[in-house]
Amino acid sequence: MKRALGQPQSASRTPLTPKVLSRAEHGISRDDISENALKVLYRLHNGGYQAYLVGGCVRDLMLGLHPKDFDVVTDATPEQVKGLFRNCRLIGRRFRLAHIVFGRDIIEVATFRGHHQSEEQPETLGKQNEDGQILRDNVFGSIEEDAERRDFTINAMYYNIADYTVTDFADGMSSIKNKRLDLIGDPHTRYREDPVRMLRAVRFAAKLNMTIGKDSADAIHELHGLLANIPAARLFEEVLKLLVSGQGLATYRLLREYQLFDQLFPQLKPLLRDNDSRENQFIEQVLINTDNRINTGQRVTPAFLYAAMLWYPLEEHCQKLMLEAGLNHHDAFSVAINDVLHRQIQRIMIPKRFSTGMRDIWHMQPRLAKRFGRRAYQLLEHPKFRAAYDFLLLRGQIEGGELLELADWWTQFQDADANDRKAMLNKLRGGQPAPRKRRRRRPKRDSSAPS
């Protein structure tokens, strides 16, 4: 099947030389593989199908890490997989996948991918746009074709449950040894097929402490604008993988180095030209704190992270509205929140459950400065107080001055007892006691009036 003139090539076919590693050579033990993944592998194998672990889990096991997920690949079609497992559901349109559900644990099973330009497969099963981006990919093939279509050399290693060997198709072991991340095939073609691979390159480089190979890195500098073609909903999940991984700071710095961060948060681009800017320092401190929380087993919320990313664009836009439209701060702040969020969701679709949390954190910032009377106690009881206080504290650490004094005041007020809190509030009023609220007297009842 010939390719039409001017049509982008559907896949970069790179002849691979597989190397089979014995159990003694690769060192992966079934004790390190999840019980549910083993159940899936053995049932596929016993059903007469090929069954392999593939990708990140094999790579991480090679590196002595503990994989979060175990992905399985097979020659069985999604419908055949569903026929073997009662607890299976089929998902996806762009990529048809089988999810085997064990409570909260999900084992993802994919069928070997084939090349789009195949005599055996109908052309309608695979589809690309004019930039070469794959839009639909339900084209099945052999394990060799599947390996050719993997993104990075370190992800083209297959653990075979039949004989416990690992087949290394793209010399991934050398990449691990040299701590270098390389794409399989021509980087320009592979990035055009799926621009998210540029984000994955940065994420793996940060996670595994690797250097992106020169050809793969140069192509990112040329093609980073293709991220504009990625649906905003998909980018939300990708950004979480990037920044809520425990290596958020290292990932952020690489994203900026390769001009990818500008594609994700365009409103921040004019504010991050200087590494010493308060905006950059604030984001880096937020990511340091996020990494520390994740690496110590504490929870983080995307609402806080996104609120931090967009805080200074929000402040700048608020000031602009006050100057140009003559709005007071309260009205300008509310309009700015809507405008900044609207612009951001054109690039990254933020679910409402998180955008609502962002709004709460932002609205609480000016309120935290108004502490007189009962307001301080009311704010302390607000369900979003802790997140708003943490946000204020980070701002104070970066900006200093009155903002840091305000954050320190709230730090003391939280831990103070009832008497100390009253004293702190009296001090705010210059030592004057709080004015007593006058009680309205009820009018005297006229005893002569009829009851």
Q: Does the active-site annotation cover 415?
A: no
Helices (H) and strands (E) in the chain, counts: 21, 12
Q: Give the Cα separation of 103 and 351 in Å (integer).
A: 25
Three-state secondary-structure class, residue 283: helix
CB 223 within 8 A of CB 191: yes
Three-state secondary-structure class, residue 329: helix
Q: Give the Cα separation of 213 and 172 in Å (integer).
A: 13
Q: Does the active-site annotation cover 151?
A: yes
Give the single-character DSSP code of 266. Answer: G
| Helix, strand, coil share of the chain (percent; to 5) | 55, 10, 35
Given 69, 339, 360, 390, the catalytic residue: 69
Ordered DSSP codes for 383-410 = TTHHHHHHHHHHHHHHH-HHHHHHHHHH
CB 259 within 8 A of CB 219: no
Given 60, 137, 151, 171, the catalytic residue: 151
- For the chain, the straight-line distance linking the first and the last C-alpha, in angstroms and rounded, comes to 101
Three-state secondary-structure class, residue 135: strand
Among residues 269, 257, 261, 290, the alpha carbon closest in space to that of 348 is found at: 261
Amino acid at 126: G
Tokens representing residue 232 in the block: 């905003």
Q: What is the dihedral of CA 92, 93, 96, 102, to 10 degrees?
A: 10
Three-state secondary-structure class, residue 114: coil
Given 60, 71, 137, 262, the catalytic residue: 71
Q: Does the active-site annotation cover 186?
A: no
Residue ranges in 194-277 assigned as alpha helix (H) = 196-208, 214-223, 232-243, 248-257, 261-264
Q: Give the Cα separation of 198 and 218 in Å (integer).
A: 11
Catalytic annotation, residues: 69, 71, 151
